[in-house]
């Protein structure tokens, strides 16, 4: 946890090379593509908080369905639906 807090969130996420919004989009795309459902929910929430809209995430996930596969996309869209209905 210390490494995640200090390096990932303290340095990587703080790097000005990408905006938090763009960094969230890249992270969501990676988690969807690698079928990392356990971490996806928190990053979908973070993406919404960093300025991505629900519609943008739906379009990104739909696009990923053709590259990462339908099961990965369906898992992601189901999580996004649940999060945005809360």
Q: What is the pLDDT of residues 22-61, one digit of tens each?
A: 999 999 999 999 999 999 999 999 999 999 999 999 999 9
Residue 14 has pLDDT above 90, yes or no: no
Rounded CA-CA distance 30/7 in Å is 19
Residue 75 has pLDDT above 90, yes or no: yes
pLDDT bucket at 64, cuts 50 / 70 / 90 = very high
Rounded CA-CA distance 42/48 in Å is 10
Among 2-11, 21-30, 77-86, which is the least confidently predicted range?
2-11
Give the per-residue pLDDT at 60: 98
């Amino acid at each position: 946890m210390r490494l995640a807090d200090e390096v990932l969130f303290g340095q990587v996420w703080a790097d000005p090379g990408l905006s938090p919004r763009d960094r969230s989009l890249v992270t969501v795309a990676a988690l969807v593509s690698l079928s990392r459902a356990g971490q996806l929910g928190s990053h979908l929430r973070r993406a919404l908080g960093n300025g991505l809209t629900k519609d943008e995430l739906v379009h990104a996930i739909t696009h990923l369905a053709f590259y990462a596969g339908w099961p990965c996309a369906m898992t992601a869209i189901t999580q996004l639906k649940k999060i945005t209905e809360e």
